[in-house]
Amino acid sequence: MTQTTLEFTKTRRASLVAAIFMMATSAIGPGFITQTATFTAKMGAAFAFGILASILIDFVVQLNIWRIVTLTRMRAAELANKAIPGSGYLLAVLVIFGGLVFNVGNIAGAGLGLNALLGLDAKWGGGLSALLAIGIFSSHRAGLAVDRMIVWLGVIMIGLTVFVAFASNPPLGEALYQTVLPDQINFATITTIVGGTVGGYITYAGAHRLLDRGTTGEENLEAVTRAALSGILVTGLMRYVLFLAILGVVASGVVIDTSGQGANPAAQAFQAAAGQFGLRAFGLILWAAAITSVIGAAYTSISFISVFKPDITEQGRNRATTVFIAVSLLVYVLMGTAPAALLLFAGGFNGLILPIGLSLFIYVGWRRSDMMGGYHYPRWLLLLGALTCLLTWYMAIKSIGPVFAFLNVV
């Protein structure tokens, strides 16, 4: 009995860690890094408010979705269909399309990373990275290796960013002041940064990973809640440290180019703070973040396909994932939009999707306790969820025009 309990605890811990890192690597991918550099260059310390808003929205969204998926033991689209017939199909189409847009951006990010690391043309870098991701996803052993690599790459990413934050010497007092009392509030930037860290497929990455690992039901709810909070805390701190690193460069008077086709704003900031070492190390981290995000986006987006084909096998899902990455690569190669602009648009578009899925989950929490085994969902968490839902709807409506304008960046 003791051995069985020990094995259960170890398995659950492994599934929770996997879910945390699936969420973290999705939330701190190339999109967020590029978005942070671009918006910090344009807004300065005032962008701190956008970071804080994204962390608070992240907290409410992830906590509700992880908990409701755990309680219902259903994927998001299946849950939506059972709550409101037909809505799951809409959610699945939006998330899969949003995941495709994001994956095109992730491939662009991989291209930017190899450009900073090796000087390789961004298009070639993105293409080679996508082919590598297809190869990795086709091999189960390589997949396990990637799971382990994610942890190490995450540690390296945090270490490097902290180093650059110290090297760039940001104005901490001004940053903290602007976090709560910003000079300006730009809803398009907040929608984009929220979309890039918790919108679209990212919302469901950790929750669906938990479901696949069997960590479900009310008996696991406390552990799942702790894991969600841990993931949000880690990603939140990482976001703020990255912002501070780039703010230090901007505040020192360095002008970061965010307009040209070849613009790689985050690379410029890291190079300004730590010289050639900063540029090469940044390239490695951005590329690694992009590869893990390509895999995470494909995995989570294709997990929604089961609502259309419930009897799909694991082999069938793997083939669909490979096709998904290949289509993302084709779109990336055919599009003439700058890689950095693609990453900005991807975050913004997924931010537009966020309120739709969140509305469905809040409805289940309020009205469908029968789907959660009769569990009485905490009203305070639902109230926060409803307020966040209204806020994300408002931001999405205000931001439709500016978000699509990102594609015109030349």
Domain ranges of the chain: 10-403
Structure tokens at 233: 């805390």
Of 16-25, 112-121, 218-227, 248-257, the one with minimum mean pLDDT is 16-25
How far apart, in whole angstroms, are the C-alpha atoms of residue 330 and residue 344?
19
Q: Contact at 8 Å (CB) between 88 and 77?
A: yes
Per-residue pLDDT, 41: 87
User: What b/e sequence results for 244-282 when a residue is b if at least 16 CB atoms lie within 10 Å of its CB, and e otherwise?
Assistant: bbbbbbbbeebebebeeeebbbbbbbbbbbbeeebbbbb
Within 13 Å, how many C-alpha atoms sit on residue 358's CB side?
A: 34
- Is the pLDDT at 2 greater than 80? The verdict is no
How far apart, in whole angstroms, are the C-alpha atoms of residue 126 and residue 138?
18
Among candidates 339, 335, 406, which has minimal Cα distance to 113?
339
Q: How confident is the model at residue 147 (pLDDT cuts 50, 70, 90)?
A: low
User: Looking at residue 219, what DSSP letter applies?
Assistant: G
Length of the chain: 410
Helices within 214-338 (DSSP H only): 221-251, 265-303, 314-334
User: What b/e sequence results for 183-211 when a residue is b if at least 16 CB atoms lie within 10 Å of its CB, and e otherwise?
Assistant: eeebbbbbbbbbbbbbbbbbbbbbbbbbb
- Is the pLDDT at 216 greater than 50? The verdict is yes
Per-residue pLDDT, 114: 92
SS3 252: coil
Query: What CATH number matches the domain at 10-403, 2.40.50.140, 1.20.1740.10, 1.10.357.10, 1.20.120.1630?
Result: 1.20.1740.10
Among candidates 323, 308, 320, 24, which has minimal Cα distance to 157?
24
- Is the pLDDT at 170 greater than 50? The verdict is yes
- Is the pLDDT at 337 greater than 70? The verdict is no
Over range 257-281, report the average pLDDT. 79
- Is the pLDDT at 136 greater than 90? The verdict is no
Over range 118-131, report the average pLDDT. 91
Mean pLDDT, all residues of the chain: 83
Per-residue pLDDT, 90: 92
SS3 337: coil
Residue with the bigger pLDDT between 288 and 276: it is 276
How far apart, in whole angstroms, are the C-alpha atoms of residue 293 and residue 290?
5
pTM over 0.85? The answer is no
Q: Contact at 8 Å (CB) between 205 and 22?
A: yes
Over range 200-227, report the average pLDDT. 81
- Is the pLDDT at 310 greater than 80? The verdict is yes
- Is the pLDDT at 363 greater than 70? The verdict is yes
- Is the pLDDT at 396 greater than 90? The verdict is no
Of 120-134, 148-162, 357-371, the one with minimum mean pLDDT is 148-162
pLDDT 10s digits, 24-74: 766 777 878 878 888 898 888 899 998 898 888 888 998 999 899 989 999
Per-residue pLDDT, 124: 92
How far apart, in whole angstroms, are the C-alpha atoms of residue 293 and residue 105?
10
pLDDT 10s digits, 178-199: 999 888 888 778 877 877 777 7
Q: Contact at 8 Å (CB) between 175 and 247?
A: yes
How far apart, in whole angstroms, are the C-alpha atoms of residue 393 and residue 145?
39
Within 13 Å, how many C-alpha atoms sit on residue 179's CB side?
A: 17
pLDDT 10s digits, 67-94: 999 899 998 999 999 999 999 999 999 8
Per-residue pLDDT, 410: 38
Q: How confident is the model at residue 388 (pLDDT cuts 50, 70, 90)?
A: very high
Give me the percent of the chain exceeding a pLDDT of 90.
19
Residue with the bigger pLDDT between 328 and 281: it is 328
How far apart, in whole angstroms, are the C-alpha atoms of residue 351 and residue 192?
6
Per-residue pLDDT, 319: 82
Among candidates 302, 334, 307, which has minimal Cα distance to 319?
302
Per-residue pLDDT, 174: 93
Q: Contact at 8 Å (CB) between 30 and 290?
A: yes
Over range 245-260, report the average pLDDT. 83
Q: Angle at CA 36, nearest 5°, toward 179 and 406?
A: 120
